[in-house]
Amino acid sequence: MQNIEINLTVNKKHYTLSVNPLKPLINVIREDIGLTGTKSGCGKGECGACTLLLNGKPVTSCIIPAAQANNADIVTIEGIGSEEKLHPIQEAFVEEGAVQCGFCTPGMIISSYALLKKNSNPAEDEIKEAISGNLCRCTGYTKIIQAVKKASKKMR
């Protein structure tokens, strides 16, 4: 298949790339752009490890073809907070022990970020719903939910 040119903004930086139009977006982010914070898990949109924001909405980047990210505004885990100052959601995840092996964490934080942007004081059910597309095999979710609650307080 012939490569196509795509333009995209990732964490406020512009990129012009020549890619296979059906290359999974996560591979573009990790390999072509070099941002490896977004994790690749199941590759089928079922585990949520590869979640990032595409035009403000959480999506699983492993099942998005690169072509459909043309002209898109993308935010990955690297675009939330900075190396010097963690985002309040990241702080809360650390403080509450919501990170164990850490593989689901970038996706969990992106899903939580999308929730808290829409709803600054979510109920527990709303938190559970917002992270229902993100699997965690370590924590049992309790600490993640506590962390999102704590983050919502920090951000209010």
Q: Which residues would be at the binding site for other proteins (CB under 8 A)?
A: 1-2, 4, 21-22, 24, 43-46, 48, 51, 54, 57-60, 62-65, 67-68, 111, 114, 129-130, 132-134
Nearer to other proteins, 56 or 97 (CB): 56
Nearer to other proteins, 36 or 68 (CB): 68
- Least separation in angstroms between residue 84's CB and other proteins is 29
Distance CA 53, CA 73 (A): 8
- Least separation in angstroms between residue 85's CB and other proteins is 27
- Least separation in angstroms between residue 128's CB and other proteins is 9
Nearer to other proteins, 4 or 17 (CB): 4
* Of 150, 154, 105, nearest in space to 131 by CA: 105
Distance CA 61, CA 22 (A): 12
Strand partners, 14: 9
- Least separation in angstroms between residue 107's CB and other proteins is 9
- Least separation in angstroms between residue 152's CB and other proteins is 17
List of residues 6+ apart from 1 with CB closer than 8 A? 20, 21, 22
Nearer to other proteins, 58 or 79 (CB): 58
Strand partners, 9: 14, 73
Nearer to other proteins, 97 or 140 (CB): 140
Strand order in the sheet with 4-10: 13-19, 4-10, 72-75, 51-54, 57-60
Radius of gyration of the chain (CA): 15
